[in-house]
Structure 1
Amino acid sequence: MRTALFILFLLIFTGAFAQEVVIVDQDTQEPIPDVAIFNIDKTKTALTAKNGSVDLSIFSKNEKIILKHIGYQTKKTTKNLLLKRGKTIYMVLTAEELDGVVMSVSKWEQQKKDIPQKVASITTKAISFTNPQTAADVLQNSGKIFVQKSQLGGGSPMIRGFATNRLLISVDGVRMNNAIFRGGNLQNVISIDPFSIQNTEVIFGPGSVIYGSDAIGGVLNFYTKKPKHSKTEEAFITGNATYRFSSANTENTIHADVNYGKQNWAFLTSISYTNFDDLKMGNNGPDSYVRNNYVTTINGVDQLVENSSPNKQVGSGYNQINAMQKIAFKPNDNWNYDLGLYFSETSDYGRYDRLIRPTSDGDGLRSAEWYYGPQEWFMAKIGLQHQGKGRFYDRLKINTAYQHFGESRNDRNFGSTTLSSTKENVHALSTNIDLENKRIGDLRLYYGVEYVFNKVNSNGFETNIENNQVTNAASRYPDGATWQTTAGYINSEYKAQPNLTLLSGLRYSHVWINAEFDKTFYPFPFDDANLNTGALTGSIGLSWFPKENLQITFNGSTGFRAPNIDDVGKIFDSEPGSVVVPNPDLEAEYAYNVDLGIQKNFNDKVIVNATGFYTYLVDALVRRDFTFNGETEIEYHGELSNVQAIQNAAKAYVHGVEFGVDAYFTEHLSLSSNLTFTKGIEEEEDGTESPGRHVAPTFGDVHLIWKNDKLKTDLFFNFNGEVSYNDLSDSEKSKDYIYASDKNGNPYSPNWQTINFNASYQITNNIKATLGWENITNQRYRTYSSGIVAPGTNLISSISYQF
């Protein structure tokens, strides 16, 4: 009898336990508390707990029930169907709640609907689904940002006609731009591990009020994952392990992260390793893109050999390791302390656009070697946050960081025994104090101060490859040069009416440069370069809802970029047929921008948005013809080269329109599309006009997405417009070897289109598989201004285990 009662009790207990489910956000996988669950006549109700769990035993097996939560799509089903789907139930955000909160505009959380600037958000789930190889691919996959690649180990974003040191990159609120960020294409963004990113926010247009110098075309904010504390006395332990393979470059990637959290302490460790082989291009496209030959050195002799696989871009492969350690301490609800350690290092990697440069007669290749040494990045960041009734604030953030950047350039001409190298190390210190004040009725104030100090160490040397003898040579930059800035800002958000929000801000920045030139190798006509200048920038904008489903935004803002060490003191950096020399007489450049946006929501079924913008850049820092000791041409590395320098020698006008459409046909089927159109010109002091170098072609995408609780698929179409010969800048025309030839034999960038497919499937609650098929029709194409040719047909597969 006792045994029978025990068995009966066990069956009842396990039956009740089996009826407990956990409700989570489909994109973030975070539990959703306070989800209301009720039957049709509302005689039975239940509510999820803080951990998202709820017991469904009060409902009968086939009883119709409703799941409802503010901001999420209402779900109608039966208990039986819910239990068949497993213990985890997914809910989807409503269209108007997607990307509802952003941090980038003020460094504090703000409702996206109140912000007049265009801000694009990329979530960790979007990153996981698209399986990007680098952080540059994270941006490119969004469909809103154009990315140029000189080599496989690269990625230089272009936003609204601006790029490189006219865009600001920030990681967890710390400025990554340093004193040697150049006007040429940059690859520093690949130092950020895609697996560590929680979300990415991109501000389109000037962001100098909050971020200072360089934030002219936009700001790219990367927020990495945070340690999670336990909600109970028990430790909260989660982790993830992922393996990924890509066929186009035989990529092998492994990643692991683990979170250990107690109520007061939390630790997060993340590590990734990737190995890329040489990239294979597609079969269908311009024949001029193929790699017919390459240089190899046999017994100390350079030889031009035939490439047995012309679609294989020999010399493009490399590997990379990323690691991150975070520690968070939360003594109570008002104080938070955190420590973050970030590390990234690549192997040597070839600068592919230089490796394919032909000789003047076209019969060979100019370089036997041209590669970057390991790209190194280390950051240590200490932060604290206080929330409470301070005298001058409601919330306070202080972040202090140290960064080290290491890079080198190594090149050797075909047949030469001399390998020329320069090596740079930048040490960067920064402190930011940011405050939020919400006490003045409908007015919120954000204000703060910033200090940044950079020191550049640079040296040059030459190596005889026959006997390995090393001799000193000219450095790329003045060794020991410093760049520093201090600034203060105030930004305000005023809720004038429930449907009208006004934002405005001011910032004053002061910049100093101190550089001394070594005349050992070159007879410079100056001893040093000193800059002492200030810049005042501002912004004003509004977000207005004349109707509940219609939003109109307007924003006017200014941005600036102060000269850095790369502008002022770059020592003999070669470009094809030219050599760049220092110019200590430079001033800051300024941008004046206006943009107007409109967004219409049609019954949460279709959301259409468009933003038009116009930017005027004055005193533009551009590379132009120059003289060195009165000479317009000098011999450099055995070649007679045209002398150029960075100068305040131009104006620029950029305008364009950005479109977006999101359509939700059913609970499972949706469509998303983006289109960006940009035009820009540079005007010389004599009135001569030429196309802007970093003005991207028209580009966009169309995605058809189907998903349910376990499966998500995305069939999408990417396209880029043509850049004709007449629309190429003069500097691009000189690089005809990376472009196709038009009917007149002139270089141009052809239009291209690709068809692609992504899918992910939640095999179990712990295991997820993803599959991608890129460039299904195997197109051979180069994105505008890129040296590397894009991948041909590429199969990407990954498997992840989460606990």
Structure 2
Amino acid sequence: MKFLASMNKVVLLFFLFISLSIGAQEITVLDADSNEPIMNVAVFNTDKSTTAISDFDGKCDLSLFDKNERITFKHLGYEIYKTTTGQILKRNRKVYLIANSQQLDEVVMSISKWEQQKKDIPQKIISIDAKSIAFTNPQTSADLLQNSGKVFVQKSQLGGGSPMIRGFSTNRLLLSVDGVRMNNAIFRGGNIQNIISIDPYTIKNTEVVFGPGSVIYGSDAIGGVINFFTKKAEFSTTDSLAVMGNANYRYSTANSENTGHFDINLGLKKWAFLTSVTYNDFGDLKMGKHGPDSYLRKNYVQTINGEDVLVPNANDRLQVPTGYNQINVLQKIAFKPNTDWNLNWSNYYSETSDYSRYDRLIRPNGSGDGLRSAEWYYGPQKWFMSNLQFSKNGKGRFYDGLKITTAYQHFEESRVDRGFQNVTRYTTLEKVDALSSNIDFENKRIGDLQLYYGTEYVYNKVHSFGHQKNIETNEIAETASRYPDGSTWQTLAGYLNTEYKAKPNLSLLSGIRYSHVWVNAEFDTNFYQFPFDNADLSTGALTGSIGLSWFPKANLQITANTSTGFRAPNIDDVGKIFDSEPGSVVVPNPDLEPEYAYNVELGVQKNIKDKVMLKGTTFYTYLVDALVRRDFEFNGMTEIEYNGELSNVQAIQNAAKAYVYGFEFGIDATINENISLVSNLTLTQGIEEEEDGTDSPGRHVAPTFGDVHVIWKNQRLKTDLFLNYNGEVSFNDLAVSEQSKDYIYAADANGNPYAPSWYTLNFRSQYVVSNALKTSVSLENITNQRYRSYSSGIVAPGINLILALEYQF
């Protein structure tokens, strides 16, 4: 009996040893930055005769491999990692993979203002990290978005860039910088240039949310949200002072650009300081050689001995005048008293020189034998923001994370125009002071349910002035301002967002927000006899969203989302007076209501053998009570005199409905360890429905656009040969307001304006000379095409050589 008992113990110990040995072969694959598990990682040996795949929890069984056998970990979004089973077992059975520069978007912040796994998000969202930005080397933040291949950008002049997302643009998209909304009370429906105030050299990451984002961001977030996150001041990891920095130089031939950038970071254990300065100098832009002759700048206006004359352009491909310069300064101070609290004080400043509104300078006069304007330019565009943020980690009574963000912003812009051979120069100047405060909470304590909630208050005050000057006598007289001086716009809101992990492969997200908006404007009757004294609006909006992210298989993701968005009237809608187009003037209208959007979208992502990632999204957005510019009566009149010209009266009105739908496709393919293929394609259609039942194409619906990239890289060199493509917009598909701008479009066979299709072939490269020095060489528009993007005033650059240096210390 004792012998049998002893044998039983031996057998039990043997099976226990076998079980432990097998169990010891299970490892976990984790993201090196977020420490989150990575599913669908392929693990294989040298001849690929044996393969294992990580599951939803990042778990993977390596018992198939010998202890000293060399194995490879491969995932489309991460750098390849090679090791042995024995080495992994010595490291607590964990493998950490580093996200590659093309896929560094596994963790995003734009949906809830807190870090979330991208795989759990039901909305389409893209992330552009600092490495990608450095490789594409954009001139401005508008170009940064355009280089992604997923956002269409319109430009009225060189100093500009107005993104279009899913048929919406300008004040129907929300811009945010480090958690602070940039949209202000005079963001207009026409194309805006505020995005160029954000320095691409200071951006750590950019996230673009497609579709309504009003639950978190409130008014204006109808078509999407564009979040810019700038670099942080970095602390020292030792007791000594840590000094690091960057110096950059960039030159491009198409507009003789010279850009210099310098930043330095000083870090201590509890204090950190980041200083950044960038200066841009852009000359006049030269267009391509092959394309419509109507795009050429054959003559322009010069003032000689006090008289405006039309002079021939010595180089009709040179767009005179388009050049300008700009300076951007960033100063950050960070204080970390302990592991729980962080204090960040950030100050941003941007200022341009005067820059011409090129599309207005090429408008023909009424007879068609000359130009309408002698001068039309924007005065310096200035932006200042001081942003103070407190953040706390660790459990509180009602939260696990707390952020308090308070910010002050000052915006300044002006418009100067003078008709050809007219002695009167008209100037309007606008200033906006904006205060905002956000309190955001994160709570993880209710089982699988995670809560995000918070409040927001925003206050804008608008200062607006107008004057005219006789350029012969220098006599100055006051004229009507663009907006009611002293007008205010403010909003107060509260929101709740939830994320529920129903299963390891199924996440549900939902949210709700209530926003209340107040608008107050007092109208000056010294220049126009308004039939009203003031605009006093008080309106509320309830918005919501619900969506799911489901992995029926580890290599297949399905997302579905429905959401609502809104835009409350702002001062630009309610109180603006300006010339919208030749012979038309927009007047105030205080009787406006918010416009609402209802959106549904469905997305699919398929990973094929960890070599190809296919992505597809379809969406439909319906906009009701749309705020649009339409003909109007002012004191019973359909025409009034504006700046000395009898003009048709228009106003912003809740006069239309609109629907936009489309498809977005993408493919990321890894051919081998050195070569990859990336391609995007976006198709959008949109219609505005008038109150009388007539339809017209949507103004901000981009043409079909896409790109194809063939990327080759090794440890030191990365190259990208790529094709950009835009489809045609025929005359019948142009919005009515665009059909009247025949001076910026080509003419079809019937003489009607249209936007031709175009393509460009391009090449960019980056070479790592050393750990400190990188060089970049790019050649854009290699075939020297002459093209103008849809709705853009300026013609795109022709063949363009770009040289850049980056030095890190």
| TM-score normalised over the length of structure 1 | 0.90
322-331 vs 564-573, greater mean Cα deviation: 564-573
**CA-to-partner distance for each residue in 1:564-597, whole Å, 9 max, x for gaps?**
0000000233422211000000000000000000
Q: Distance in 2 between matches of 1:801 and 1:91?
A: 27
- C-alpha deviation, 1:629, in angstroms: 1.0
Q: Is contact 1:281-1:790 (8 Å) kept? A: yes
**What SS does the aligned partner of 2:201 have?**
helix
Question: Of the candidates 755, 774, 794, which is equivalent to residue 780 of structure 2?
Answer: 774
**CA-to-partner distance for each residue in 1:219-256, whole Å, 9 max, x for gaps?**
00000000111111122211000010000000000000
**What SS does the aligned partner of 1:686 have?**
coil
**Residue of structure 2 equivalent to 1:802:** 808
**Residue of structure 2 equivalent to 1:455:** 461
Q: Distance in 2 between matches of 1:305 and 1:73?
A: 58
Pair 1:262 & 2:275 matched: no
Pair 1:251 & 2:277 matched: no
Pair 1:352 & 2:358 matched: yes
Q: Distance in 2 between matches of 1:277 and 1:310?
A: 15
**Residue of structure 1 equivalent to 2:686:** 680
Q: 1:204 to 1:780 in 2, by over 3 A?
A: same
**Residue of structure 1 equivalent to 2:241:** 235
**CA-to-partner distance for each residue in 1:454-489, whole Å, 9 max, x for gaps?**
000000000111122211110000000000000000
Q: 1:598 to 1:492 in 2, by over 3 A?
A: same
Matches within 5 A, 1:474-553: 474-553=480-559
- C-alpha deviation, 1:761, in angstroms: 0.2
**Residue of structure 2 equivalent to 1:639:** 645
Q: Distance in 2 between matches of 1:564 and 1:640?
A: 27
Q: 1:28 to 1:170 in 2, by over 3 A?
A: farther
Pair 1:694 & 2:700 matched: yes
Q: Distance in 1 between matches of 2:278 and 2:35?
A: 27
Q: How many residues align?
A: 738
Matches within 5 A, 1:49-448: 72-76=78-82, 93=99, 98-448=104-454
Question: Which runs of 5 or more structure 1 residues have no equivalent in the other structure?
Answer: 1-26, 33-38, 41-62, 79-89
Give, as a single letter, the amino acid of the residue that structure 2 aligns with 1:395. Answer: G
Q: Distance in 2 between matches of 1:502 and 1:370?
A: 52
**Residue of structure 2 equivalent to 1:603:** 609
Q: Distance in 1 between matches of 2:267 and 2:663?
A: 46
Give, as a single letter, the amino acid of the residue that structure 2 aligns with 1:623. Answer: R
Question: Of the candidates 727, 731, 736, which is equivalent to residue 730 of structure 1?
Answer: 736
Q: Distance in 1 between matches of 2:151 and 2:242?
A: 37
**CA-to-partner distance for each residue in 1:669-700, whole Å, 9 max, x for gaps?**
10000000000000001110000000000000
**What SS does the aligned partner of 1:737 have?**
helix
Q: Distance in 1 between matches of 2:528 and 2:126?
A: 47
**Residue of structure 2 equivalent to 1:620:** 626
Give, as a single letter, the amino acid of the residue that structure 1 aligns with 2:323. Answer: G
Q: Is contact 2:101-2:131 (8 Å) kept? A: no
Q: Is contact 1:417-1:465 (8 Å) kept? A: yes
Q: Distance in 2 between matches of 1:67 and 1:296?
A: 67
Q: Is contact 1:99-1:121 (8 Å) kept? A: yes
Q: Distance in 2 between matches of 1:292 and 1:351?
A: 17
**What SS does the aligned partner of 2:143 have?**
helix
Q: CA RMSD in A?
A: 2.1
- C-alpha deviation, 1:29, in angstroms: 12
**CA-to-partner distance for each residue in 1:323-349, whole Å, 9 max, x for gaps?**
000010001110000100000000000
Q: Distance in 1 between matches of 2:578 and 2:160?
A: 23
Q: Distance in 2 between matches of 1:602 and 1:128?
A: 30
**Residue of structure 2 equivalent to 1:55:** none
**What SS does the aligned partner of 1:189 have?**
helix
466-475 vs 186-195, greater mean Cα deviation: 466-475
- C-alpha deviation, 1:789, in angstroms: 0.2
What is the identity percentage for the equivalent residue pairs of Structure 1 and Structure 2?
71
**Residue of structure 1 equivalent to 2:747:** 741
**CA-to-partner distance for each residue in 1:189-216, whole Å, 9 max, x for gaps?**
0000000000100000000000000000
Give, as a single letter, the amino acid of the residue that structure 1 aligns with 2:443. Answer: N
**Residue of structure 1 equivalent to 2:52:** none
Q: 1:236 to 1:430 in 2, by over 3 A?
A: same
Moved over 6 A (4+): 27-32, 63-71, 94-97
**Residue of structure 2 equivalent to 1:24:** none
Give, as a single letter, the amino acid of the residue that structure 2 aligns with 1:586. Answer: L
- C-alpha deviation, 1:68, in angstroms: 6.8
Q: Distance in 2 between matches of 1:129 and 1:467?
A: 53
**What SS does the aligned partner of 2:226 have?**
strand
Give, as a single letter, the amino acid of the residue that structure 1 aligns with 2:478. Answer: N
- C-alpha deviation, 1:93, in angstroms: 3.0
**Residue of structure 2 equivalent to 1:580:** 586
Q: 1:31 to 1:800 in 2, by over 3 A?
A: farther
**What SS does the aligned partner of 2:788 have?**
coil
**CA-to-partner distance for each residue in 1:389-447, whole Å, 9 max, x for gaps?**
10000000000000000000000000011100000000000000000000001110000
Q: Distance in 1 between matches of 2:318 and 2:33?
A: 40
Q: Is contact 1:156-1:189 (8 Å) kept? A: yes
Question: Which runs of 5 or more structure 2 residues have no equivalent in the other structure?
Answer: 1-30, 37-44, 47-67, 85-95
**Residue of structure 2 equivalent to 1:656:** 662
Q: 1:413 to 1:28 in 2, by over 3 A?
A: farther
Q: 1:418 to 1:164 in 2, by over 3 A?
A: same
- C-alpha deviation, 1:530, in angstroms: 0.6
Q: Is contact 1:572-1:582 (8 Å) kept? A: no
- C-alpha deviation, 1:66, in angstroms: 7.2
**CA-to-partner distance for each residue in 1:520-577, whole Å, 9 max, x for gaps?**
1111111000100000000000000000000000000000000000000002334222
Q: 1:77 to 1:776 in 2, by over 3 A?
A: farther
- C-alpha deviation, 1:28, in angstroms: 12
518-527 vs 204-213, greater mean Cα deviation: 518-527
Q: Distance in 1 between matches of 2:497 and 2:82?
A: 44
Q: Is contact 2:355-2:380 (8 Å) kept? A: yes
Q: Distance in 1 between matches of 2:318 and 2:102?
A: 45
Q: Is contact 2:104-2:129 (8 Å) kept? A: no
Q: Distance in 2 between matches of 1:96 and 1:382?
A: 32
Give, as a single letter, the amino acid of the residue that structure 1 aligns with 2:547. Answer: G
Q: Distance in 2 between matches of 1:630 and 1:184?
A: 26
Q: Distance in 2 between matches of 1:305 and 1:115?
A: 57
- C-alpha deviation, 1:69, in angstroms: 10
**Residue of structure 1 equivalent to 2:25:** none
Give, as a single letter, the amino acid of the residue that structure 2 aligns with 1:294. Answer: Y
Q: Is contact 1:95-1:604 (8 Å) kept? A: no
- C-alpha deviation, 1:76, in angstroms: 4.6
Q: Is contact 2:491-2:518 (8 Å) kept? A: yes
